[in-house]
Structures are given as C-alpha cells and as structure tokens.
Structure 1
Amino acid sequence: MACVADKIKLIDGSREALKLFVRITYLWFIGIPGKTEQAEMVVVDSDGYEIHVVCKQDQLKSRKANLKENLTYVIHNFKVIKNDGKFRVCDHEYKLCFTGVTVVRQCDMEQLHFRKFRFVDFFSVIAGHFKIGLLVDEKPIVILLTHARIKEAQGSYPASISNSFKASKLMINDLVLEIQEFRERYFGNVSGSSQLSSKDAFLSKTEVKNISQINANSEVIKSNVSFFKQEFVCVTVSKITTIVMDNYSWCYLAWGQCYKKADMQTVPFTCLCGKENDQPVLRYRVEVMVNHKGEQTKFLIWDRESAQLIGQSADEVNRLKIEDRDVDLNASPQALDKLLGCFLAFKVKVQPRFGNFVVLKYSDESDLINVVLDMILDSEQSVSVTGDHDPLLRIPLTPTKRVSSDELDNE
C-alpha cells in the first residue's frame, strides 16, 4: 500500500508524527559556522502550500551536507510550534523544527512545485494593505536618492550608499522622467499616465476633502505665520467650469528634456538636468475654476495632465493657432475648451504660500470617483446624494464663458 503524505495545509499542531513529501525551495544559514549556526528553509508540497522549517545547531551538523535547495525529500517526525515570531517567511500558522528522531531522505519527486514568487504590489504597501511581520517578494521598483553619500569599500565591507542628513530625498517609483526612462530601459514599457487604476494608490498618504474644506484649510494656514510654508495633499472631486485667464499665459517655454522654464534659444544647449536640448518647447500651465455643490476654487494643471485631458501637446495646439493666423501666444486656444465640463477625481497639493492648488493626478474612472464621493459624504456626515455626483458629467458641457482674474475677484 502506497504511503500517504500529510498535507502542509492541514498541519494544526495536534500531532507531530508527520510525514511530508516536499521540495526545499529556499535554504539559508544563520549564526557562526561550527558554533551557533542553524539552517532555515521553506518547503512546499504537491498542493503548493509552504511552511517554514528550522534545523537548529544540535541537529545541523549531521544533516547540513544533505540539505540542498531545490531538491525533493521525504521528511517525517517534527516538533510543531507556533509561527508567531516578529518576522515570518510563510503565512502558515505553524512552523516545524527538526528533532533527534527526524528522518530526512532525498527522493526524486519532479511533480513537486518549484519556488514561486508571491509579489506584493508596492502601492498596496504604501496604502497599508499588508500583514505586519510577513516577509514578501516585491515587484521590481526603482529608487532615486538625491544627494547620496558614497562610502568606499573598506576591508571585507563593500562600498555603500547612504542619505545625507536633511539634504537627500528618496523617491520610490515616482512619476518622474528619470525613473520612467530607467524602468523602460530595464523592465520594458511602463505607462507614464497620471491616471492610476489603483484606488489605494490614488488615495494613499492623503485625506479626502470637499472644496469648502480645502479653501478653509488653506486660509487657516495663510493666516498663521508659523505655518505659512506648510503644504498638504488632498483628494477631492469637482467639475471644471471655467478657464481662468490671469497674468499668466496658458503655456510657458521649457527645455525639451525637462519641465523647467527656459529662455528663448535657437542653438543646442544643455539644461541644468544635464540633458541635451535641440530647442525649447511649449508646455501647458492652465488655471481652471472647479465647482462642486456650489463651492468653487481655482486649480493649476501642469503640462502632463493638461496634455492627457486635451489630447494634444501645447506645441501642437500652438501650431494650429498659428495656422489660423493667431500668433498671440497669450491668447487662449479653443482646444482648452475640452477641459470644460470634465467631472474628475483630483489629487491636489495645496501651497498656501504661493496661492496655488496644484493638480498632481486626476482620474475619470467612475468607480474611483464614486468612492471619493462616498468618503466626502461620510466626512460631511450626510447621506444625501445629488444629481451632480454623476460621473458621466465628464462629457464636456456647453462651455461657460472665459473670465479674467479681475472678473473672478469681483464675483
């Protein structure tokens, strides 16, 4: 009669005379060899379930040579203990320890699983959706550290990189040009869209506020000198109702390989980022009035988000203006009317010192918009829902008039 193996999934601490058919998918050693060394391993059975196994110092000496990663074994008789350490390599409730009567026999069982990475999305981590203490595999991420300190190798210690106190900034998978270029070079194409399909990513490290709350918080900060430089990020929903024409144009001249403002130049040059530029390009800088439930405020939308919403670059729009014999760069093009009537979820950085509410990201996904609306309603302690919550209102409506900042001040 063929021997029936126990299932890792069913290990519950009620018995220790277990017989497992497993593959060692991960093997490592800790401690000082010959003194305090012990083996730690992860094994997997035919059903793909994993469990953490420990071979302590007193059992390792006679077994170390026989334990190999990726080989398959029949192992029986363990001590079963709770898997309640500070950090856990498996999600199983229990882990196993070798004892003096543990039997280990190598056996060819090619049907057993090899190691499979169980990736955790980075945005799930920053959104707090993870099990504390459970060690996980992370998808490839790109880290950019500014003003890094490089320490040369010394003896057995390799060269190392660390941050500079107060001077360094750490960016992880941020939507910046250098990180996107690096990901495309080494990991394939990566979308540069500012719209995030992940609700958790959009809402991470921020609060949901309605327009009235955003205005009120900004005024409180501006009125307090000690907090005047303080900025905050929030998420809201609103409809773009007006293109605001003030002392700024709808666009600005920037270097071709970055977003920094440039002076007009006609010869190739190198910008402060160290990138070569053939000629400057136009980029969007659009101020709009947004409205929700009768409350309104002014948002600043930069080039990336404007280009995505309009469907054309600022250079393309300006070329069409010139073809129509409109050579005044400060005259707002009709293409901006595509923004009017858009009902969106916005992630906004409020900068009271500059009087700006800068759009960092936006989303026209109805599911996300409804989530934000529900959160706003919860914050207002209200259960009523009005018709202007319909995300279908993103369809451009009849454009409202264009007004100057002076007209806005008089309203």
Structure 2
Amino acid sequence: MAATFGYLKDVRPYKIGWRVQVKVLHAWKQYTSDTGETLELVFSDELGKKIHCTVKKDLVSRYVNSLTVGDWVLIETFGLSYAGGQFRPTNHLYKMTFVNTTTVFGSEPKSESNYLSLAKFEKIHSGELNPHILVDVMGQIVMVSELENLEANNKPTCKLDFEMRDETDVRIAVTLWGSFAQTVYTACQAAEDKTVVCLIRFAKIKAFKGVRSLSNSFDATQVHVNPAYPEAAAFIQSLPDDGIICVFRERVPRFAIVSAKNEDYDEFPRNTISELITSMDVGKARLMCTIYAIDTDWAWYYISCKSCNKKVTHVHAGVNGVNNKGKKPRFWCDVCKSVVTNVIARFMIYAKVMDNTGEARLLLFDSICSEIIGESAASVLDGSVDEIDDPEDLPDPVKNLIGKTFLFLVWIERANIFDGKEIYKVSKVLQKNGLLEEQLVEESSDIVNAASIVSGDQVPLMLECSQETTDSITPSSKRVYPLNVGSSDGSSTSKKLCIAPVDLEKSNPEFVGEVAFELADVKAEDKAKENVDMKNKGKVVESEEVKHDDGGAVKKVVVKKEDIKVKIEKKK
C-alpha cells in the first residue's frame, strides 16, 4: 500500500501529525537576538506550492545534513504557525516549524522543476504585488554602475546598482549588497558584448516616492547570473532583437561630491515619525520631535575608559584576583584588556519622542546630550563614577529635556529597516528647542529697544504770517533754527515745535543771540482759529543771557529780539 502525503496547500495548525513530500529550494542561517542562530528553509511540493520553515538553534545540528538544497525529502510531524515578519519568502498563510519529534527522510525526485514564480515588472511598478512577500524576477542586465566599497554596521561591504529589462523592454532598478553585488559585477565584466541574464529569487520590493525597485533581503535572497535553467533559455529567445548589451556607467568619486566639513543638512529629507518608521532607505533624515519621556529601562549614563572611550565594567573586590579595598574604584576595559581607574561618566540617553504622526525612541550619545543639556555627565554626577542605583531617579538637567522640541539628524540603519530595530541613533542636533542657532541671533537683533528710537522723521510745523503775500513772511534765509535739540521734549510726538523767527536786519549784527524756543501743547482745532495779536510791534526787547566764551570765561550777552504779529494756522 502506497504511503499517503498531504499537499502544502492543505496543511493546517490544528495538528502536528502531517506528512509531506517536498523539494528543498533554499536554505540559509539567520541570527537574531531573540532566537539565536536558526536554519531557515523554503520547501515546494510537486504542485509548486511553497512554504517557509524554521529549525530552531538546538535542533539545527540534528537536521542540517538531511536538508540539502535541490533534494526531495519526506517530512513527518511538524508544527505550524501564522507566517509573519516584514519580508516573507512565500505567500503561504502558515510557517512550518520543526519539533523534537520531526523526522526527515530522503525521497525519490518527483520533478526536476525549479518552481520559479516569476513576477512581471509591470505588476511590480503598478504596486499590485504585496511588498512584504519576496518575489522571483528574471531580466537582462542593460546598465551597471561601478561597484561601491563602503561600510555598513561598522563592517566593510560593497554595493551595486544596475538596471534590468524584461522581454517587453520594461525596466526596473536593482540594488544588491555584499557577495551578491560582487557576483553580478564580476559576471558583467566578463560578459564583454554578450547578453547577461540575471535571476533573483526571493527579492525584496522597495518603494521610494512612488518609484519601485528591487533589492536583496540579506541571505534569504538567491542570485544567479546566466543560470542553466530552461526558463532562462526561453527568456533569452523572447528578448527584442535590438542589439542592446550590458553597458557600464561611470560614477563620480565619492570624495569629489561629499564634504564632511561643509555638509549641507538641507539635502537630507525632512521626515515625520511615521515616515521615519516606514522609510526603506538607509541613510540620514531630519526629524522634528518633542521629548515626552526618558526611557528608564536603560541607565542615562555609563562609565567609559579615558584611554579608548569604550564602556568599562565595575570590578568588585575579589573578582579576577583584584583587590578593590582602595578608595579609588577599579574597572575592567575589554579594549585595553586591563584593569583601569582613569574613567569618566558619559551620557547615553534613550529618549521617547513624539510628533503629530506617532512616537519613536531615539538614542542620544554623550556629545549630543552634552550639547542640549549644557553640561557633561561628569558635571551632573559631580565626578562620581558609581553605578546607577535607581534609573527612575533622574537629575534635573536630564528631566529638563522633557517637553522640549528639537530638530535632529537621525540615522536610518539597515537594522531599523530589515531587523525591526525600533531605536534610531541621533547624529547631530540641528535645532535647539525648535529654533536654529542662527535664527536665535537674527531674532534677538530684530528686537528694538524703545529707548533707542529717535524721531528723526518728525518735521517741525511751519509758522506763517497772517498776510497771504510772500512779502509778509520772513525769508527763510533770515530765519535761525537750532542745529540740535538737546532736550527730550524736543523729540516728543505729542508736542509741536514753535519757532520764533528773528529779523537779523533789525538786530545788532555783531551779536548772534540764541533764539528763544517755546514748547507748548497746542490743540490743532483751537489754534487753527485763534489769532495772536502781538503788541508793541517793532519794539526791541533787550534781555541778558549768560554765555561762555572760547576761553571758558562767563560773560553776559545782550540779546535783542523783536516781536512780530503772526497767525498760527493748521497746515493742510
């Protein structure tokens, strides 16, 4: 009697006693802080239905040699759970998990098929495909940029951007990292004028500003250049006969376009918190946010070695033969590989921030914290290097950060995008409490002191005679005006300056007296109708004034003045 097997489309989590016959399409090891190193696999049955499988770290050694890529196997007794995660290698509703009672046997091949599920470029561009499901794509490489050597997560790596087209000449951009980038770049260099076909299995769909592209999803992706697959041969036959081959595009050297000293921070995108969390591009972004709490699950400072600036651990008495009876505490430095006493406290604050779109957590290192707090951690602790006792007991300088708004330059790392890391590191403070430093200077210069306002635009009212003829008006050449009004009343906006003109022809030409000024409150409506009759017209009035000569001596000066008849009218 032939053994019976279930198809992958029929398996359900209500039992573990399933028996399936599958082909191993892909296997890779994956490490996470929660699960450690696990073995990840993709299986397919003879109907082409695929499922993702995980073998936990304590079972890896038992099954790793029985699960070779390309082999058919029988698997009995396994668990099923909902398939989750941001990027899933299959569209199966469930994920298979090996248990202690799982058994794996070799099996006769059911098919030589590679079980490709090639996605159309048009559907990728239109957004029809689920971006959380990894896809298979095949295309002709038509353009390749230079291989970039850079650093990611403090490790050297390489990056390659290139463009592929399908049989209908629809094109799509691809970015590969690490060994995948090196493989494709080497193959394109060796191809010369030949057609280069690239098959990417389990590729990730990225989207930026509505433009979709492809990239590898760490080791979950497979990259094959000119694979010996029947599907690849059929694809080459379907390509347009237009003679297009792979061309290389030169790239401007990075050092020629990037200036570390004169970095233009406006070039980085201004993101909200929701945009930051959903961003799919590694790099930096500007984030305006308000600190609403300090995460006290973490200490707000740490002790570091002054020699290497790395974190040290406190050495208690008797540990590793260290006598810690002295007054000065001792610490172990993993970098210096020795016990050190020359240490200092440094900030490391995990801040909870928010805006009107969501919440996030930011990591602020010592230089950032010192800048926004205004003092060092050593100053806040008054030189103490003791371990923290109560993380809830925050000092006032740290508490004062709560409620303040800043514009930060934030790192978006690969771990934030692909590993679900929720903490973003702050690279620089661009605005303090919502205002740029240069804006603070500009605003302070715009503040006008009321005491410094001088009414230089105020024009004294003209005094005209009651006669309408110009002859009755004292010529302007014979009027004497003061060069400077020293008293504060002379600049009052509520008083009008009344000037008594002096006829110099009837005065002693040897003396030039001071002109008497009278400042009085004048009501415009009353004074416009009032006629002032000046008596004793033509009579010279002598008065004595006290003046100082050039030598500083005091002398009396006789000033002769003549009263004239004037009419004060409101100037229209």
* Structure in which a larger fraction of residues adopt helix: 1
Structure with the larger RCO, 1 or 2 (CA within 8 Å, 6+ apart) = 1
TM-score by length of 1: 0.37
Q: Greater CA radius of gyration, 1 or 2? A: 2
* Structure in which a larger fraction of residues adopt strand: 2
TM-score by length of 2: 0.27
